[in-house]
Chain A
Amino acid sequence: MTAALVDQPVEPVSTAGGMLRRLNLVTAIAGGLILGLAGWLISHSLLQDDDLGSDQVVLVTLSCWAAGFMIGIGALNGPIGWALGRDLRHEDELFLAGKDQGVARYFRFTTDHKVVGIQYLVVTMVLFAFGGTLAMLIRTNLISPHSHFLNPQTYNAIVGLHGLIMIIATIIMVTGPFGNFIMPIMIGARDMAFPRLNALSLWLIVAAIPTILSAAVLGGIPTGWVGYAPLADQAPPGMDAYSVFIIIFAVSSAVAGANITTTVLTMRARGMSWNRTPIFVYGTVASVGLAIPAFPLFMASQVLLQVDRTQGGQFFVASGGGSPWLYSNLFWLMGHPEVYVILIPALAALMELTPVFSRRPLFSFNAAVISIAGIVGLSIMVWAHHMYASGWAPDLNGPFMLTTEMISVPTGLLFLVILGTVWRGRIWTTVPMMATYAMLWNFIIGGITGIYLSDVPADYALHGSMFVTAHFHYTLMGAGLTGAIGALAYWFPKMTGRMLNERAGYISFWFVQIGFNVTFLGMFAVGLAGQPRRVVTYAQLFAAGNFVSTIGAYSIGIGMLVLLYAVINSWLHGQVAPANPWGAKTLEWTVPNPIPLENFEVLPVVTSDAYGYGEEDEPASGIDPEREPVLAGASADLGPRPVGASNVEGGP
């Protein structure tokens, strides 16, 4: 016995992780700065006298920054180790997963999906804080027709940055935090299929954020978030920052998409057939699956734009034989699927939580799945409705009107699913459930105004006006962001171990929702009256509507600050949450708080779906039948597995 002890290394854990022990966010920033500086010096000295010099220097510098950042965080350690034939030891894997590192693991290349989920949540909130501040500046400028609060150049730069930052934030706001933290537990897995890719996708976004913020000092993005060429060809170097950002983001989303899709396809718990897989899992897969074909097109458009801007290419320059329509087609081939990338997981989160707070089974699970599939299928065939008025292909306007209007049928089914679920339920009006109601209100308005815009002649009148701005805010914010906030309030107890302050949650809810409707109903009015989008000044005719919008926007701002306070305060000092505070039946509520490193000591076996509210045939297993999920029957034949075991088990 004694001899065996002596044979053991004295500190077996101390070398775990190897080089990664010394890498974290600080070394990443240092690496980014060093390589960025080197890139700047080299490209600057080589290209000093070139006319296009500044664009090329910015492109090289920002690319070097991102590469240096990724090296500094340790993203390359795994691939290099494998190339050298080094195998990770078990304790290295544990170190990578963040075992026993406390808060430090949130600042490292950590593979635990729960850490990545929290990191995504913080990144999302930071992006919303930036984008929201810019929105406040925009609305302040528009409080009166000629406020002179911002000059036209600053205004255009802010409009572009606001749009892009918010689009990125909304794309990751559900699949990032909840798709990474909650979804693997929901399907009974111990981690994602590719934990390192998971960390890679997160840190790529972190590396990309400074590049987009650098646009603010590089002359801004004067094109709006769409980056239309040829305006983008004549834009200042801020446009190069835009390109670098999009290219990195496209890689990140492809990596995340492959990872989440594989996880769901191969790692669902034993017995979790497709008709027992929770609807949120469908929403997550639909979203990232749609992103896989969509974002490479955006990336391609930016590669071509950079060839134009830095290599003298003419892809989008008409005088050189190129076509601006090439850009707009590439862009909207991404751009329309992208709105469903945003919307579907948010709506799926609401469909997931509505049964819990109605104490009713999800109404027509099949209709919910069919409608998600229908939206995904149609969404790749509608892009040119953004181009009715572009003159690109007037003869195709009719067919695109058809596909666009067809989307209203599967979307309508989603409403039926939620209404059928609340029907004669026992409605528990928590903050998450209120988000469902807010979505029902907002998304009807967003959807119907979308139908006006799908109509070709009506779109000729409304395209490019504030009506369009109001419409997509009703869908992406009124339905999408509202759904994400509902998801946050719903899963907050599981993610942080504490309850979200309910009172602050309600206060925030009403400030945001009332403010939102005031802002964007006012914007519909000025849009119908003929105010174009993205204008720094406007005619006196639109003064009243814009004033109302600005007041509403301030109310949203106050509400969001209250939410931020509620999140931070509850995270630090909130009431400690029980494992299953809502009495929900999905698997993530069966694991204890705080969640162990690999989630499940014994992998669950699923015997029914998660919506059996009010059904008699609950198996009487577990200590508390009220709180024990129906589908979480632990199976004896698997036996307990040691923490740290391979994470590819659990698939059927």
Chain B
Amino acid sequence: MSAESIVASPKRRRRDEVRHIAWLWLGLTILLVLFSIWVPARLMGPPASPTMRAVESTMTVFSIAASPVAALVWAIAIYSLFRWKSRGEPTEDGPPFRGNGPVTASWAIVSSVLCVFLLIWGLAEMTSTTSPAEASNPLVVNVTGQQWVWTFSYPDQGDVESDQLYLPLNRPVVFHVSSRDVIHSFWVVQMGIKVDANPGVTTKTSVTPDKLGVFDIRCAELCGLRHADMETSAHVVNPADFAAWITQNGGHT
């Protein structure tokens, strides 16, 4: 530690450095939190289901939780790059300490706590987003992927078939998803649900659409030549309009 005594009032200088980094950290954290609040959820667009709303709040909350971490790393990096930079090759060595037990321990503890928070949040969110599957009277839609179209059929409504998805507002839907050839992935973008369509088996996903409108269905698994064109629309309509659409297509409600 004799190298320390050469520097004039090293303690004060060190305290100043920590203070500057703390300010930089605070400033960056504020910027990142503002970014977290405004940007990720906005880019994902207006949600069309409670599931998508939960996903967007996850994105926002995780971003906010990560903000101080990223800000700390960047604050120290930026500060060191400007204030501890030497002009050309350094002529002397830095202080020789080889670690700091309390700092390492707190770093590990804080990151573990954050990790536990992420897990608990995720499990709670999983429970809430799978609730439509447990509803008493869900609408069942069979979804079939094949190169490169989607087909939807309504087994409880007289097997009405369509290449566009029609859903009644606010009624839980369970999708039974399968494929005729290769793996596709059934993705209703604005509802935040996705499950692979596999040949030979049926996979399930569920959602409660709560917004009227036309939404995007895309294939999210590379499935061959026209993968990019394997998209269609999901129409969320009032229950009366849905019943009318079913009847119009030869089904019954």
Separation in Å of the B20 CB from the closest CB of chain A? Answer: 12
Question: How near does chain B come to A562, taking the closest CB pair, in angstroms?
Answer: 22
In angstroms, Cα B183 to Cα A391, docked, is 11
Docked CA distance A573–B87 (Å)? 26
Are B44 and A528 within 8 A (Cβ)? yes
A427 touches B185 (CB 8 A): no
CA distance A534 to B223 in the complex (A): 10
Q: Is the CB of B3 within 8 A of A614?
A: yes
**A408 interface hit (Cβ, 8 Å):** yes
What is the 8 Å Cβ interface bit string for chain B, positions 195-222, against chain A (1 contact, 0 not)?
1101111011100000000001011111
Question: Given A406-B115, A455-B118, A613-B93 in contact, is the A427-B81 Cβ separation under 8 Å?
Answer: yes
A651 contacts partner chain B, Cβ-Cβ < 8 Å = no
State in angstroms the CA–CA spacing of A272 and B8 once bound together.
38
Distance A614 CA – B90 CA, assembled complex (angstroms): 12
Q: Is A448 positioned at the interface, with any CB of B under 8 Å from its CB?
A: yes
- Taking a contact as CB atoms under 8 Å apart, the answer to whether B192 and A231 are in contact is no
Note all chain B residues with C-beta closer than 8 A to A406: 115
Chain A CB within 8 A of B2 CB: yes
Contacts of B44 in A (CB 8 A): 461, 528-530
Report whether B96 and A452 are in contact in the complex, using a CB–CB cutoff of 8 Å. no
B107 CB contact (under 8 Å) in A389, A397, A413, A533: A413
Write out the residue numbers on chain A whose beta carbons fall within 8 Å of the beta carbon of B96.
Answer: 360-361, 612-615
Of A324, A456, A535, the contact of B122 (CB 8 Å cutoff): A456
| Stretch from A93-101, A255-263, A290-298, A363-371 forming part of the interface with B | A363-371
A422 CA to B76 CA, complexed, in Å: 9
Interface residues of A, CB < 8 Å — how many? 88
User: Which residues in B have their C-beta under 8 angstroms from that of A274?
Assistant: none
Residues of B within 8 A of A448 (CB): 62-63, 66, 69-70
Query: What residues on A are CB-neighbors of B221 within 8 Å?
Result: 228, 464
Indicate if the CB atoms of A401 and B119 lie closer than 8 Å: yes
Chain A hits for B69, CB < 8 A: 412, 444, 448
Q: How many Å lie between the Cα of A542 and that of B194 in the bound state?
A: 20
Give the segment of B53-61, B154-162, B235-243 that binds chain A. Answer: B53-61
Which one, A230, A440, A452, A461, contacts B182 given CB within 8 A? A230
Give A319 to B125 CA distance when docked, in angstroms.
36
CB of A415 within 8 A of chain B?
A: yes
- B-side contacts of A437, CB under 8 Å: 77, 81
Which of A398, A458, A533 has its CB near the most chain B CB atoms (within 10 A)?
Answer: A458
Is the pair A359, B93 in contact by a Cβ cutoff of 8 Å? yes
Q: Does B112 contact A (CB under 8 A)?
A: yes
**CB-based contact B93/A398 at 8 Å:** no
Contact A405 B119 (CB under 8 A): yes
A360-B96, A426-B84 are contacts. A528–B43 as well, Cβ < 8 Å?
yes
Question: Would you call B192 and A460 a contact (CB within 8 A)?
Answer: yes
Q: B212 to nearest A CB, angstroms?
A: 19
A510 at the B interface (CB under 8 A): no
Q: Among the listed A402, A461, A612, which residue makes an inter-chain contact with B194, where contact means beta carbons less than 8 Å apart?
A: A461
Q: Please name all residues of chain A whose beta carbon is closer than 8 Å to the beta carbon of B228 when the two chains form the complex.
A: 152, 532, 535-538
Contact with A along B106-124 (1 / 0, CB 8 A): 0110011011001101110
* A401: contacting residue among B59, B77, B89, B122, CB under 8 A: B122
Taking the closest CB of chain B, its distance from the CB of A134, in whole angstroms, is 16
Q: Is the CB of B183 within 8 A of A461?
A: no
- CA distance in complex: A537, B69 (Å): 37
B87: min CB distance to chain A, Å: 9
CB contact under 8 A between A231 and B223, given known A363-B98, A452-B62: yes
List of B residues within 8 angstroms of A364 by Cβ: 98-100, 104
Q: Is the CB of B94 within 8 A of A456?
A: no
Complex Cα distance A159/B125, Å?
A: 34
A420 touches B103 (CB 8 A): yes
Tell me, rounded to whole Å, the shortest Cβ–Cβ distance linking B99 to chain A.
4
- A119 on interface, CB distance cutoff 8 Å: no
- Please give me the residue from chain A that is nearest to B44 by CB atom: A528
B170-199 residues with Cβ-Cβ distance < 8 A to A are 177, 181-183, 185, 187, 189-190, 192-196, 198-199
Instruction: Tell whether A416 pairs with B199 under 8 Å between CB atoms, given A424-B94, A528-B43.
Output: no
What is the CA–CA distance of A227 and B172 in the complex, to the nearest angstrom?
35
Confirm or deny: B167 has a beta carbon within 8 angstroms of a beta carbon on chain A: no
Rounded to whole angstroms, the CA-CA distance of A234 and B194 in the bound complex is 25
Binary interface profile of A, 403-437, with partner B (CB < 8 Å = 1, else 0)? 00110110011011001101111111100000001
A201 part of interface (Cβ distance < 8 Å): no
Q: A361-B98, A426-B93 are in contact. Are A463 and B51 (CB under 8 A)?
A: no
Is A461 in contact with B3, judged by CB distance below 8 angstroms? no
Q: In whole angstroms, how far apart are the Cα atoms of A454 and B70 in the complex?
A: 18
Nearest to B117 among chain A residues (CB) is A405
The residue of chain B having its C-beta at the shortest distance from the C-beta of A526 within the complex is B43
- Nearest A-chain residue to B80, judged by Cβ: A422
- Chain B residues, Cβ within 8 Å of A81: none
- Asked if B85 is at the interface (CB within 8 A of a chain A CB), the reply is yes
Pairwise interchain contact A325-B198, C-beta atoms closer than 8 A: yes
Q: Is the CB of A528 within 8 A of B62?
A: no
Is B193 a contact partner of A390 (Cβ separation < 8 A)? no
Any chain A CB within 8 A of the CB of B245?
Answer: no
User: Contact: B52 with A461, CB < 8 Å?
Assistant: yes
Q: Are A398 and B198 in contact (CB under 8 A)?
A: no
| Docked complex Cα distance between A391 and B81 (Å) | 47
Q: Counting CB contacts under 8 A, is B15 at the interface? A: no
Q: What are 25 contact pairs spanning A and B, CB under 8 A?
A: A230-B199, A234-B182, A324-B198, A360-B93, A364-B100, A364-B104, A391-B204, A401-B119, A405-B115, A406-B115, A409-B115, A416-B103, A422-B76, A425-B84, A426-B86, A426-B94, A427-B81, A456-B122, A457-B58, A460-B55, A461-B52, A528-B40, A537-B229, A613-B93, A615-B96
B interface residues with partner A (beta carbon < 8 Å): 2-3, 14, 17, 40, 43-45, 51-52, 54-55, 58-59, 62-63, 66, 69-70, 73-74, 76-77, 80-81, 84-86, 88-90, 92-100, 103-104, 107-108, 111-112, 114-115, 118-119, 121-123, 125-126, 129, 177, 181-183, 185, 187, 189-190, 192-196, 198-201, 203-205, 216, 218-229
Q: What is the interface of chain A, defined by CB distance below 8 A to chain B? A: 152-153, 156, 159, 222-224, 228, 230-231, 234, 318-319, 323-325, 358-367, 389-391, 397-398, 401-402, 405-406, 408-409, 412-413, 415-416, 419-420, 422-429, 437, 440-441, 444-445, 448, 451-452, 454-458, 460-461, 463-465, 525, 528-530, 532-539, 583, 611-616
- Top 7 A-B residue pairs of the complex, sorted by shortest distance between their CB atoms: A318-B200, A391-B203, A464-B220, A614-B93, A426-B90, A614-B96, A535-B228
